[in-house]
């Protein structure tokens, strides 16, 4: 359930885009009513989906705050990015801004992971996982590099898909491709960790 809750803005973004695309006349009327005249009918689905994602993220954080009186820092960062870039998409009627949102988030993660290791000499992956598993120092270092590299790659891949394929393909990739690659990467990391945990246990 927590995974679905965390993915709620992405799921609603995808659902709103597909629903608006299937009801293009009504979607265009709604977009022009709330966002002003002069909006091309083809842009209505992405604008509506962006508005839904902003609202969903705000409601998600409000719910977390009401339940726990504390919101994870990453959720605040995601809110800031969706509000700034999504808001720019709505104001300027330009979907390029929202297409940059996943890349901005991925590259921010990569910079934080790499910067913490190089400048502060702090391995953030180790800080998050060392209470669950014990690994040799070189393995922690490789994990941190792997995650930073993965986020760097994902940011570039998002831009490649966004600007090399149709908008509909990008939306599908955002929903299924990005999450699928993340799942495969996590599974690969789990396999890698299990090997070293077994080696350490048998040593």
151-185 per-position pLDDT tens digit: 999 999 999 999 999 999 999 999 999 999 999 99
Closest C-alpha to 99, from 25, 168, 20: 168
Q: Quick one: pLDDT band at residue 1, thresholds 50, 70, 90?
A: low
Confirm if 173 and 159 have CB atoms less than 8 A apart: no
How large is the average pLDDT for residues 137-144? 89
Cβ atoms of 16 and 52 closer than 8 Å: yes
pLDDT band at 4 (very low <50, low <70, confident <90, very high): confident
- C-alpha 42/C-alpha 27 separation (Å) is 10
Mean pLDDT of 189-202: 66
Which residue is associated with the tokens 């995601």? 78
Structure tokens at 67: 């339940």
CB-based contact 86:53 (threshold 8 Å): yes
Give yes or no for residue 92 having a pLDDT over 90: yes
Neighbours of 147 (CB within 10 A): 19
Tokens (6 digits) for 85: 């870039």
Closest residue by Cα to residue 17 from 77, 76, 80, 99: 99
Lowest mean pLDDT among 69-78, 116-125, 130-139: 130-139
The full set of domain ranges for the chain reads: 1-93, 100-203
| Mean per-residue pLDDT over the chain, rounded | 90
- Report the share of the chain in percent with pLDDT over 70: 95
């Amino acid at each position: 359930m927590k995974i679905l809750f965390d993915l709620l803005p992405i799921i609603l973004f995808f659902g709103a885009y597909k629903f608006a695309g299937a009801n293009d006349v009504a979607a265009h009327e709604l977009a022009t009513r709330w966002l002003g005249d002069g909006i091309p009918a083809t842009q209505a689905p992405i604008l509506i989906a962006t508005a839904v994602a902003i609202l969903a993220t705000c409601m998600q954080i409000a719910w977390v705050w009401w339940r726990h009186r504390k919101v994870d820092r990453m959720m605040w960062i995601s809110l800031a990015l969706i509000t700034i870039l999504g808001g720019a998409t709505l104001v300027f009627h330009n979907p390029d801004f929202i297409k940059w949102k996943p890349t901005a988030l991925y590259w921010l993660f990569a910079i934080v992971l790499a910067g913490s290791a190089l400048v502060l000499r702090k391995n953030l992956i180790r800080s998050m996982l060392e209470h669950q598993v014990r690994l040799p120092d070189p393995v922690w270092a490789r994990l941190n590099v792997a995650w930073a590299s993965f986020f760097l790659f994902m940011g570039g891949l998002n831009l490649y898909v966004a600007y090399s394929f149709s908008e509909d393909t990008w939306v599908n990739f955002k929903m299924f491709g990005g999450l699928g690659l993340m799942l495969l990467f996590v599974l690969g990391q789990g396999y890698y960790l299990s090997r070293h945990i077994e080696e350490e246990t048998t040593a």
